[in-house]
C-alpha cells in the first residue's frame, strides 16, 4: 500500500523516481497493465506498490528465498505478483485481502500470471483466520490496514519461523511518524508498531526510506 513518495525525502522526487525507474529492472507488461488498470478503475490506486517498490520486494524475496510467505493486504495483487516472481519452485504465498469487492478484479489479474499456481488468495481478516500452524512462514509481508499494524505484529509474530522475516510497508507514513503535529489513528498506530519493533529483543530491524518507508525485521528468537 504505497501511499506516497515522501519517504525518500529528497527535492525533485519525481525526477529521482524516474531516474531510479530507468536504472532498475523493468516491471514487465503484466504488472504495467495491472498498475494502469488499478489507477483507472479502483479507488485509492496509490495503494498499489508500483515499479520501484515492486522490484525491491522481488529482490528481498530473492535474497531470503522463502518457501512460504504470508501477505497481509493484497489490494489488486501488484506486490503479490512481484514476490511470486522470485519465489523458489514449490513455494507459496498466502495473501489476505479484507475487501471482498476487490476479489473478482484481483483474481482475474493473478490468474494471468505464469506464477499463479504459487498464490493462494484469501478474502477475509487475517487476524481471525491464519491458514497455517505456528512457525509456518519464512516471511510475512504487512501492507494492510494501518490502524491494525500493532495487532498484526502481536498476532502474526508466532507464525514466523526463527530466522524468518517480517517486511512492513508504510512505516514512515509520509514522514508523519516523526511529526508531532500528526496524531490521527493511523499515524499513532504506525508509531506504536515502530516502537514495538524497536523495543523487541527477539528481532533485528532496518528501516529503508523507499516511498512511504519499509521496515525489514528479522526474527532471531521466539
> Whose CA is closest to 158, among 96, 99, 110, 200?
200
Edge-first strand listing for the sheet containing 160-169: 119-123, 92-97, 68-72, 137-142, 160-169, 214-219, 203-208
H helix runs in 65-161, sequence order: 78-86, 103-110, 149-156
Report the pLDDT averaged over residues 23-47: 92
Q: Is residue 164 part of a domain?
A: yes
Q: Give me the domain span that covers residue 147.
A: 6-125+136-219
Please list, in sequence order, all residues whose beta carbon lies within 8 angstroms of the beta carbon of residue 10, skipping any fewer than 6 positions away: 16
Residue-level pLDDT at 12: 55
CATH number for the domain spanning 154: value is: 3.40.50.150
Among 5-14, 112-121, 166-175, the minimum mean pLDDT is found in: 5-14
Residue-level pLDDT at 10: 44
Q: Is residue 95 part of a domain?
A: yes
Q: Is residue 1 part of a domain?
A: no
Q: Is residue 16 part of a domain?
A: yes
- Whether 7 shows a pLDDT value over 70: the answer reads no
Q: Is residue 131 part of a domain?
A: no
End-to-end CA distance of the chain: 28
Q: Is residue 20 part of a domain?
A: yes
Q: Is residue 130 part of a domain?
A: no
Q: How many structural domains comprise the chain?
A: 1
pLDDT tens, residue by residue, 89-135: 999 999 999 999 999 999 999 999 999 999 999 999 999 988 678 88
Joined grid coordinates for residue 191: 508509531
Q: Is residue 65 part of a domain?
A: yes
pTM (two decimals): 0.92
Amino acid at each position: 500500500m504505497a501511499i506516497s513518495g515522501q519517504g525518500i525525502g529528497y527535492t525533485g522526487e519525481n525526477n529521482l523516481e524516474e531516474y531510479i525507474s530507468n536504472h532498475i529492472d523493468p516491471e514487465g507488461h503484466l504488472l504495467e497493465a495491472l498498475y494502469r488498470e488499478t489507477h483507472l478503475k479502483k479507488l485509492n490506486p496509490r495503494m498499489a506498490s508500483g515499479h520501484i517498490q515492486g522490484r525491491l520486494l522481488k529482490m528481498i524475496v530473492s535474497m531470503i528465498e522463502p518457501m512460504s510467505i504470508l501477505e497481509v493486504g493484497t489490494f489488486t495483487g501488484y506486490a503479490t505478483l512481484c514476490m511470486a516472481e522470485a519465489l523458489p519452485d514449490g513455494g507459496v504465498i498466502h495473501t489476505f485481502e479484507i475487501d471482498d469487492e476487490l476479489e473478482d478484479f484481483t483474481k482475474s489479474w493473478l490468474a494471468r500470471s505464469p506464477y499463479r499456481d504459487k498464490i493462494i488468495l484469501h478474502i477475509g481478516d487475517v487476524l481471525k483466520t491464519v491458514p497455517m500452524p505456528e512457525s509456518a512462514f519464512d516471511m510475512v509481508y504487512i501492507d494492510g490496514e494501518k490502524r491494525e499494524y500493532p495487532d498484526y505484529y502481536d498476532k502474526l509474530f508466532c507464525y514466523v519461523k526463527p530466522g524468518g522475516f517480517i517486511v512492513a510497508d508504510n512505516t514512515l507514513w509520509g514522514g508523519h511518524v516523526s511529526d508531532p503535529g500528526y496524531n490521527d489513528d493511523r499515524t499513532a498506530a504506525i508509531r506504536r508498531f515502530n516502537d514495538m519493533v524497536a523495543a523487541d529483543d527477539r528481532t533485528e530491524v532496518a528501516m529503508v526510506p523507499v516511498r512511504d518507508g519499509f521496515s525489514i525485521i528479522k526474527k532471531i528468537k521466539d
